[in-house]
Structure 1
């Protein structure tokens, strides 16, 4: 048992297990090009809706896509693409997301094996779709290392609601105060606080330390620093 009885770690996926910019900037640029179909006006309209800077090829820090669900992204761009339904757009986004180029924040297989060896229960809760999340975890060779994987469409709700986090605690048999929620966005940390969990912010997403600090028990450069923090917390 580690840090004040912390028994379990619940990770966000994008920006936490995987570096957000390295993975999703490429995805967004490709999606915008595909949906614009050579129409420059439509291309710029999609970029504005997604708050994606075409010149730098990066999401703006306040983009709603960063912590949003696939459904929310589809709703954002639907007015620009009136010939496509929201359902069609959501399905397309999910299909493209499944093959997004993944960039691990740290070498995940040995990292997660190390946490499990310390007796910690591991889970993932993402605002992505569960099928996409599982595809990404499978591609990284780590799906089987988690006792719980949930997305925004898994029936527990989406962050910043604490309900999906509490579903993890219930499913794994841990009291919320024995769980640490690890994420790169305020959605993650607000949900963690509301669930009564410890909260650890990481800087491999789009939010800076100043933005995350009010809701975080600790700010870490990346998840690789989590074991050191757990060891330092008084038991």
Structure 2
């Protein structure tokens, strides 16, 4: 069956993961650590983050987990506080983070929409910062479906949010593709019965993605060529 619906992950797929979140995360952790170098190092270790290189390790939980799950991981290290307050700070800071596009998004997505593809975004980020990032890139209105982990459909690697996209655009899951940079994305795509397309603009390398993908592309810039052939 021809692919007619394209569901994108956000971080590491539409936006280059390390270029976007590397330096930003160091600033966030320094703020949360409050000048305590021991706490800063402990936070970085839990998150799988290299402070010296300002980069995430390939197995970092930040890559594919939700903000709630990240908060659960670091909350025991921080002064006592409600988890909701930490998540709110993280989401507010994330919404302001400058995003580095993995490829020029507006022309790419406009071309795909003009070719008749139905477009969506499903991220394990929260929906509000996700929409802020897409709006800042000038592409929010090109998507038929935008969901975060808190949008009511669940989170990856569960297939439910992917199936919600297929339902929204009126396509069979087998007529849709999940495009992402992590195994969470591809496992969700496989469970939903979608074509699974990996991209290398996140921390995971080809060897990590290929067992779960139908194809692995350098970036979404290569997607139109793959779809044509």
TM-score range, shorter chain: over 0.9
After TM superposition, the structure 1 = structure 2 runs for residues 5-20 of structure 1, keeping only pairs within 5 Å, are 5-20=2-17
TM-score normalised by structure 1 residue count: 0.96
Match of 1:161 in 2: 158
| 1:94 matched to 2:96 | no
- 1:127 and 2:124 equivalent? yes
Q: How many residues align?
A: 229
Q: Tell me, in whole angstroms, the C-alpha distance in 1 between the residues paired with 2:34 and 2:115.
A: 51
Q: In the TM superposition, what is the alpha-carbon distance from 1:163 to its structure 2 partner? A: 0.3
1:10/1:123 contact within 8 Å kept: yes
C-alpha contact (below 8 Å) 1:166/1:195 kept by paired residues: yes
Task: Tell me if structure 2 keeps the 8 A contact 1:8–1:179.
Answer: yes
The TM-score normalised by the length of structure 2 is: 0.98
**Equivalent residue of 1:205, what SS?**
coil
Structure 2: gaps spanning 5 or more residues: none
Deviation at 1:131, TM superposition (A): 0.6
Report the CA distance between 1:54 and its aligned residue. Answer: 0.9
Aligned: 1:79 with 2:71: no
Residue of 202, 205, 208 corresponding to 1:205: 202
Partner of 1:70: 67
Equivalent residue, structure 1, for 2:186: 189
Q: State the distance in 2 between where 1:27 and 1:75 align.
A: 20
Q: Does 1:58 align with 2:27?
A: no
Residue ranges of structure 1 left out of the alignment (5+ in a row): none
After TM superposition, what 4+ stretches of structure 1 lie above 6 angstroms from structure 2?
none
Task: Tell me by how many angstroms 1:84 deviates.
Answer: 2.2
